[in-house]
Amino acid sequence: MPRQFTHVSGSVNMEWGFKENRVAVIALHKNGKSDSQNFKLFKPLKISRNFVYRAIKRYMEFWVIEDRARSGRLKSVRAEAAIKTLRERIRRNPLSKQKIISRELNISTQSSMSHQGRSTPENASPLKGTPP
């Protein structure tokens, strides 16, 4: 979640996520702050007690701050803009092939079919050459 920070020279927009929070927690831990002191410092930033304890525990076990590798297949299309583009293409040409559209938009065929939704008119046939 992006947060906005105010600097002496003005307002600065920067991405501030879990990794940055972990880095801050670990830096204070290395400087001798206890877990509860860390939590009290980060409470105004809405960083939970569990986050502080888990970050320190994980650092002490594995000596890493990086995000863990995610298991499973990630969703390829989540952005509203990509879904909107896909639906607009289908609306313009309902008889176009999903495989070609998905290749052009660099998304999986399964994602393009699932996001097709109700954007095609009822009179469009799913395959070329078949009656509507």
pLDDT in tens, 71-115: 776 665 566 777 788 888 888 888 878 788 888 887 777 777 776
Q: Domain coordinates of the chain in residue numbers?
A: 3-62, 80-114
Does the reported pTM lie above 0.75?
no
Q: How many CB atoms lie within 10 A of CB 102?
A: 20
pLDDT in tens, 36-61: 888 888 888 888 999 999 889 988 88
pLDDT of res. 118 = 44
Q: Which residue has the tokens 């097709």?
A: 116
Q: How far apart are CA 45 and CA 31, in angstroms?
A: 20
Residue 5: in which H helix or E strand, if any? strand 3-7
